[in-house]
Amino acid sequence: MCLALPMRIVEIEDREARTVRILPDRTIAGDRAGAEIVSAALIAADPDELDALVGTWAVAHSGFLLACLDENDARSRLALFAAMDDETVGAARTRAR
């Protein structure tokens, strides 16, 4: 199963190819994820629409942006992932004892 973490669109990589660079939230992804270059073609039909995406949150899968999120939705989802991660790590520590 793949979970799409909300990531922030930080820059346009290639306007004509409609690709952007996205970064994970460090408090959640930590050492597990880095910057990725993904296609925004499913979100931005025209290269001129890319500028409005920079700074926004989005979810991506298989190299494509699937949806943009507002700040509250992104933060809410990140909090849920953090809670699941804490629960998983705690359970693993309990089993290891």
What CATH topology corresponds to 7-96?
SH3 type barrels. (2.30.30)
| Amino acid at position 48, single letter | D
Cβ-based burial of 56 (10 A; exposed 0-12, middle 13-18, buried ≥19): middle
CA 36 to chain centre: 9
What's the pLDDT score for residue 1?
Answer: 43
CA-derived radius of gyration, the chain: 15
- Tokens 């004509």 sit on residue: 16
Q: Which residues on neighbouring strands pair with residue 92, listed in sequence order?
A: none
Q: What is the pLDDT of residues 31-84, one digit of tens each?
A: 556 789 999 999 999 999 999 999 999 999 999 999 999 999 999 988 888 888
Average pLDDT over residues 22-31: 74
φ and ψ at residue 87, rounded to 5 degrees: -65, -45
Are 7 and 74 a contacting pair, CB within 8 Å? no
What are the residue ranges spanned by the domains of the chain?
7-96
